[in-house]
Amino acid sequence: MSPLEIEALLLSVQVALTAIGVSLPLAIFVAWLLARKTFPGKSVLDGIVHLPLILPPVVVGYVLLVTLGRNGTIGRWLFETFDITLAFTWKGAAVAAAVMAFPLMVRAIRLSLEAVDVGLEDAARTLGASPVRVFATVTLPLASPGVLSGAVLGFARALGEFGATITFVSNIPGETRTLPIALYTLTQIPGGEDGAFRLVLISIGVAFAALLVSEIMARRLKVRLGT
Amino acid sequence: MSPLEIEALLLSVQVALTAIGVSLPLAIFVAWLLARKTFPGKSVLDGIVHLPLILPPVVVGYVLLVTLGRNGTIGRWLFETFDITLAFTWKGAAVAAAVMAFPLMVRAIRLSLEAVDVGLEDAARTLGASPVRVFATVTLPLASPGVLSGAVLGFARALGEFGATITFVSNIPGETRTLPIALYTLTQIPGGEDGAFRLVLISIGVAFAALLVSEIMARRLKVRLGT
Amino acid sequence: MSDVQSSALTDAPPVLDVDIRVQRGDAFTLHAKFTTDGGLTALFGRSGAGKTSIIDCLAGLIKPDHGHIRINGESLFDSSHGIHKAPEKRRVGYVFQDARLFPHLRVRANLIYGMRLLAESQRRHTLDEVADMLGIEKLLDRHPAALSGGETQRVAIGRALLASPNLLLMDEPLASLDNDRKAEIMPFIERLRDQSGVPIVFVSHALEEVVRLADDMVVLADGQTIAVGDVEDIMSRLDLRPHTGRFEAGAVIHVWVAGHDPLHMLTELGFGAGSIWVPKLEFDRGTPLRLRIRARDVSLALQRPTQSATLNTFEGNIVDIEHVAPDVSPHVDVLVNIGAPVIARITRRALEQLGLKSGMKVFVSVKTSAIDRHSLGLGRRRAG
Amino acid sequence: MSDVQSSALTDAPPVLDVDIRVQRGDAFTLHAKFTTDGGLTALFGRSGAGKTSIIDCLAGLIKPDHGHIRINGESLFDSSHGIHKAPEKRRVGYVFQDARLFPHLRVRANLIYGMRLLAESQRRHTLDEVADMLGIEKLLDRHPAALSGGETQRVAIGRALLASPNLLLMDEPLASLDNDRKAEIMPFIERLRDQSGVPIVFVSHALEEVVRLADDMVVLADGQTIAVGDVEDIMSRLDLRPHTGRFEAGAVIHVWVAGHDPLHMLTELGFGAGSIWVPKLEFDRGTPLRLRIRARDVSLALQRPTQSATLNTFEGNIVDIEHVAPDVSPHVDVLVNIGAPVIARITRRALEQLGLKSGMKVFVSVKTSAIDRHSLGLGRRRAG
Amino acid sequence: TMLPDRALHAAEPVTIFAAASTQQAVDAVIGACPEKAGVTCRGVYAASSTLARQIKNGAPADIFISANLIWMDYLTESGAIVPNSRQVIAHNQLVAIAPRARAPKIDSVATLLDWLAADRVALGDPAHVPAGIYAAEALTSMQAWDRLQGRVLALPNVRAALAVVARGEAFAGIVYATDAQVSDDVIVVYKILDSYHAPIVYPMGQVAGPHTPGTEDVVALFKGLVGQHAFRDAGFQVSK
Ligand SMILES: Nc1ncnc2c1ncn2[C@@H]1O[C@H](COP(=O)(O)OP(=O)(O)OP(=O)(O)O)[C@@H](O)[C@H]1O
Ligand SMILES: Nc1ncnc2c1ncn2[C@@H]1O[C@H](COP(=O)(O)OP(=O)(O)OP(=O)(O)O)[C@@H](O)[C@H]1O
Ligand SMILES: [Mg+2]
Ligand SMILES: [Mg+2]
């Protein structure tokens, strides 16, 4: 692999891992809200979660730019309060990837949470566990295959994220030029096919590695879940 | 809504519904293979299923164009054998949407299949049901929340699909100009912002409607599943 | 045990005071109303009578539509005050009918799930002690999926016990256990009942379990509370026979340990006007006990039997004669007062042959071997 | 029932021929070896003995490591020939210990799940008939989640029956049912056993169920087949007492219906050298039956009791005297031949007082009311 | 590439595959098609690269209008364009833009470069977006590329660059004059002379192989006055 390819690869993995690592807890929380609670505006929340899926990624990227850019309300606040700049940085790329992966994670986790037997949660409560503890010690472990599945799905999506990323954080070598962006760039010039093909292979390699790891984890989980 | 907007809306819904309708059975089959069978090449299959997620949509669209286009091997065969043309037709848009949505569907369905109690399948077999019948009458119904969830996720993804679609079937008014592509088109002309914004609203509207329908179906399912 | 009315006469509130209504589905309405003064209360009734529903209400897993549930006067639920305490705040130990072990935790982690949440000082049992008692030491590192039906149930019992609850709910905990295992676990439940002071509500189909273990009994049918009271009272009420079971009819009498015959491994139990010999019991002299004598184990004769292997023969007077079920049974139940009431079940043919009438003097024989450990319960505190 | 060796003497292969080894987890090895000639075979053993594992092997849900399973000579499993028939090809009806109703189907659809897969001509029961027998007519439109524990179990039984299986496997089907319900369902199982010709393998902890229902009995302990044989043989084998249970000891004798006394609702049962009166039975004269007489229900005396309400008194000779468990029990079991062997359980004190010795003449009394429906089984075909 | 079935679809409109940046002008010509050429036309807009690849893979295009020479050359070399049908139909110009609220006064290349160096500069991606390639070329000619490269925001297309400046995420950008027209939030602060870069041209060519009847008439329409007016109205420069 050329240094540029390695750079793009490492950046991609960093961005995707950050994206999933940061958004997973929120995804679990939102999935739990959707799976177990009824509250006004629930379907609005559900809709908002799905928006990044429905809107063309470029639109999502544009919305991110408008809100999280340095002139966006949130972006300005982040910058002034925490000195954090998202637009045109790899952190922004992670945010874009996280946003795009979010609905996928929420769906998978929600599905698993809904499948957890409420009877077991009841049993835990009669044993003195508070709802939070029940969630942490019973619900979440039992839903962990779904959490893992959602994380894998999200990771893959984050790895492949292109439209929102390039719109929000541009294509800055070493900062935001992830694998898909490098790949896209290559497809835009005649004769770029060979280089593009190499990047496709690298992407596939990463994906297979990630899937392999996740399958091993899933098997361990199964053993731990005793099924 | 203007006639053009209505056209794009109807086309998008048609494309997304076709994409999900056609690919769902295959997704169920692949999910079942991955959830319940061990065979050589299983992880390769798993990887291939995830590819559309990891590669930039433009690359996926390009691969589709090369293989399913009129000059592609499969495309030519389809044309000569079944008189089916995919490239630059709405059917091709459906294929692109289906391919992009496929990994999402498989993941959700697989998750639900894995959660089905094998003891119930055993019970059905002792009652004389063949494995196929067990699948159709026990496994699949019990996994139906996951199938629905996967279908919703896939539908949303199909609705929002842009990169692979425009690369594979281009941007042909009335034929392949779905909502996201119409949106893109509008952003390319002066004063298109208002129109683009309207299209974003329409997209959101469709998505909310789809989610609403799916939630109602999910609730009915829950009642039917007696939980 | 008493009605709500009568408990109002005493100063202290009843230990458990339940008066609830719940609608389940379209077809089933539950109305449960009983109080207990602690000890072990058995819920008894046919399949579908509403036993599990009551337990679920006590545990806080079902919210009743109306009424109240109070423990020592403290409301767990009170519809008129909008009180509905969360299950985890109630400190009930619940042995579920369907076990509900946590599939992702090994047996050990299942067992200590509730215990770990308690301060050291609040723990009344140790893991080893309970595991030993239930015979599950070897299973500690297994996952629940690798347990047999009975093993699963034993772990479920252990888990609830280790949570050191203030109210123990057991929903047919012994149904899937073999007799030997039951015989091992029952004394433990008795000890819990007598020594821990923890009130226990117990669902069982098996009358011998109820008689052996329960102080009070709530008889349910179709969601209605048919009868509430001392086990002795309920078991000797002839009108409840359709509910308590025809064949297993019998009387329960209060006795105390009067002496031991170590050579023959017998124990003498005293009652109103005599004593009865039973297989040796490990109780001190004076210990109050409850003894259930099944009607079918009692024989009657007009003359004192001689040279018979039956040790327990009493003289008494016939108080009442009741046809068990004239159309289907050849039996009559004869209530005889021998200083305590016992019921003898004999055939009508024998009744006619001996010409038995109310008030007649008869000799009553009870075989020592017909009295087993299942027939004995420790008398409750207030009876002692 | 016979050993594999002896069954080789007859021409027809045994109805069920099981010889399997399975390893489960690290700790548990099952070795089951028995044959039956049809009828109902009870698997009896403590929790964790391996009963469910055997049933799972018969159903094809667990593949044994070694051995064979044959029905009427046809192999369902044979490791030496690589045969392992799929569960759905075996036509076994399996009532699972944990019910396993399909949660997404209403009770009705659960019940007819297997039946619908059969040609009309192969169906041996109708939905209405089975629903009526099990008392679940009102539940047909419910989902399994809205059933009580006992209701669930009844539906599971119905589902297996309606599949009209060629081998019925029942894993503690009656454990969660109340006595009345059991009493209603047992005759149905008896009819199945006697009239359908379908071999049944039945797991139960309750000895009275086993005695009443089973022809043969397989006693298991720790995965080993301890004993196999006629229920009568097993129950009278003193060496098996630790497994079959001490308290419930008794003898099973073959009897036939000798006559009826409709006025007193009694039936006379004939045996070797006399007759015994029991509550009225709806069987024709001559019908062979098995009668279990519990040792604890039998009294002994040296003189014939007079003016006693006990109808059944027999003269006999003491064959053997056996101390039940010298260290812990005050009892001895006295085997008396009254034309058939009966066992009387008396105290050692009584033994000494009466000076009983082998060969002595004694009078044996059995109370009619101590004999209940649970004690009676229809004699098996070959015994008739 | 031969498309044997093309002639079968006689009733189909003449299809023009045009770079997205020419959409406004091409739409105007298409509006005139029925009257002036006696046929209906339709426009298909996407990135030149996308369209070129599609044409190469048998897209139902009759006419291709590219935003640069490279993709037109690519198609010509692969035989997908009738070589002698090619003609440049429009030119464009690079302009420097600023958010309307922060527009500086710039009157020389030197002030331009100082201003560009002060903040981030939004460009089309010089790796592949034509506008970005031209911009990089111009800055190189001004001997400022090395200095500015690190401040460049390379965006996937010109419209994205425009949006970034319009939102104030970058205070400077270099886009086409035609794009600058699109947004009210930006203002052109400097027009970059053609002499700093290769000419910005929009070549048109007729797709080889069987084509929709009337295609030649439409080609003529683009080359003629109707086309010139349409492109000029959209801000392009039209040569002759
Ligand atoms: N969720 C529900 N919806 C409707 N009816 C229900 C529901 N749960 C239970 N029932 C009905 O309520 C009645 C009482 O159920 P419950 O489980 O309390 O019975 P039970 O006395 O515990 O019976 P068993 O001994 O069989 O366990 C039954 O008739 C049952 O069918
Ligand atoms: N999957 C498994 N892995 C390891 N051990 C197992 C597994 N399943 C069962 N066992 C063990 O095998 C033994 C026999 O189990 P089985 O279920 O056959 O017992 P059982 O006789 O039916 O008991 P019960 O009366 O309690 O239902 C038990 O000791 C159990 O712990
Ligand atoms: Mg219950
Ligand atoms: Mg079992």
What residue owns the CA closest to ligand 2's atom 31?
Answer: C147
Residue recorded with tokens 């039984």 = D157
In a domain? residue B60: no
- pLDDT tens track for C364-381: 988 776 675 555 666 554
Nearest-by-CA chain E residue for B66:
E57
Q: Which among B184-198, C366-380, D260-274 has the top mean pLDDT?
A: D260-274
Q: How far apart are CA C70 and CA C75, in angstroms?
A: 4
Stated as kind and residue range, the H or E segment containing E159 is helix E158-166
Residues 325-384 in C contacting D (C-alpha not used; CB under 8 Å): 328-331, 344-352, 354, 356, 365, 367-370, 372, 374
Q: With H, G, I as helix, E, B as strand and everything else as coil, classify residue B156.
A: helix
Question: What's the CA-to-centroid distance between D94 and ligand 3, angstroms?
Answer: 22
- The set of chains that have 3 or more CB pairs under 8 A with A is B, C, E
Q: Are B89 and B169 in contact (CB under 8 A)?
A: yes
Select the highest-mean-pLDDT range: C11-15, C187-191, D49-53: D49-53
pLDDT tens digits for range A188-206: 777 777 888 888 888 888 8
Dist. CA E131–CA E128, nearest whole Å: 9
| Lateral strand order in the sheet of C298-301 | C298-301, C361-366, C312-323, C331-337, C341-347
Axis crossing angle, helix A57-68 with helix A42-54, rounded to the nearest 10? 110
Give chain C's mean pLDDT.
84
CB C301 within 8 A of CB C363: yes
Residue A121: CB atoms within 10 Å: 20
Establish if A69 belongs to a structural domain: no
- Name every chain B residue with its beta carbon within 8 A of the beta carbon of A107: 104, 108, 149, 152-153
Minimum Cα–Cα distance from C102: chain A residue = A120
Range of the domain at A21: 3-55+87-225
In the three-class reduction of DSSP (H, G, I as helix; E, B as strand; rest coil), residue C191 is classed as helix
D325 and D291 Cβ atoms separated by less than 8 Å: no
Nearest CA in chain E to A164: E156
- The larger pLDDT score, comparing residue C273 to residue A85, is at A85
Residues β-bridged to residue B55: none
Q: Is residue A44 part of a domain?
A: yes
- Here the tokens at position B206 are 């469709």
Q: Among E84, E81, E28, E26, which residue's Cα sits nearest to residue E59?
A: E81
C145 touches A226 (CB < 8 A): yes
Rounded to whole angstroms, the Cα distance separating D345 from D360 reads 16
**Cα B51 to ligand 1 centre (Å):** 50
Look up residue C187 and give its two tokens. 């004394």
- The first and second tokens of residue C95, run together, are 């042995």
Please state the domain count of chain B. Answer: 1
pLDDT by residue (tens digit) across E26-48?
Answer: 999 999 998 888 899 988 888 88
Residues paired with E153 in a beta bridge: E122
Residues near B24 by Cβ (< 8 Å), separated by ≥ 6? B105, B147, B150, B151, B154
Give the 3-state secondary structure percentages of chain D, helix then strand then coil, rounded to 5: 30, 35, 35
pLDDT over 50 at D87, yes or no? yes
- Residue D215 in tokens: 């022809």
Q: Band of the pLDDT at B2, cuts 50, 70, 90?
A: confident
Query: Which mean pLDDT values do the consecutive 10-residue runs of chain A (227 residues) have?
Result: 86 93 95 91 88 85 86 86 86 93 93 91 94 94 91 90 84 83 81 84 86 85 70
How do strand E87-92 and strand E200-206 relate by DSSP bridges? Answer: antiparallel
Is residue B70 in some structural domain?
no
Say yes or no for a CB contact (<8 Å) between A227 and C145.
yes
For residue B97, pLDDT over 70 is answered with yes
**Domains delineated in chain C:** 7-235 (3.40.50.300), 251-378 (2.40.50.100)
Asked if residue B63 is part of any domain, the answer here is no
Record the tokens describing residue D356, joined without a space: 């009983």
B180 vs C237: which has the higher pLDDT: B180
Instruction: Assess whether the C-beta atom of C149 lies below 6 angstroms from ligand 2.
Output: yes
pLDDT of residue D384: 31
The answer to whether residue C246 scores a pLDDT higher than 80 is no
Task: Write the ipTM.
Answer: 0.79
Structure-token pair, residue C34: 């009983």
State residue D361's pLDDT score: 92
Cβ D41 vs Cβ D216: under 8 Å: yes
Q: Considering only A6-15, C97-106, E1-10, E164-173, which range has the smallest mean pLDDT?
A: E1-10
Q: Are C342 and C293 in contact (CB under 8 A)?
A: yes
State residue C382's pLDDT score. Answer: 39
CATH number of the domain within which A176 lies: 1.10.3720.10
In a domain, B61, yes or no: no
Alpha helices in C263-314 (DSSP H): none
Reduced to 3 states, what is the DSSP secondary structure of residue A11? helix
Ion ligand 4 residues within 5 Å by Cβ:
C 148-149; D 52, 97
| Alpha-carbon torsion angle B21, B26, B29, B34, nearest 10 | -120
pLDDT at residue D10 greater than cutoff 60: no
Res C9: pLDDT: 47
pLDDT digits (tens, 9 = 90+) for D276-301: 888 888 778 888 877 878 887 888 88
Least confident range of C163-172, C208-217, E195-204: C208-217
Residue A219 lies in a domain: yes
3-state helix vs strand vs coil in chain C, percent to 5 = 30, 35, 35
CA atoms within 13 A on the CB side of D165: 32
Ligand 2 lined by D53 (C-beta under 6 Å): yes
Nearest to C349 by CA among D300, D273, D367, D270: D367
For position E95, what pLDDT does the model report?
A: 93
Please report residues of B whose CB lies closer than 8 A to that of D159: 127
User: Which residue has the least CA distance to atom 17 on ligand 1?
Assistant: D148
Averaged pLDDT of chain A: 88
A131 found inside a domain: yes
Give pLDDT tens digits for C50-79. Answer: 999 999 999 999 999 999 999 988 999 999
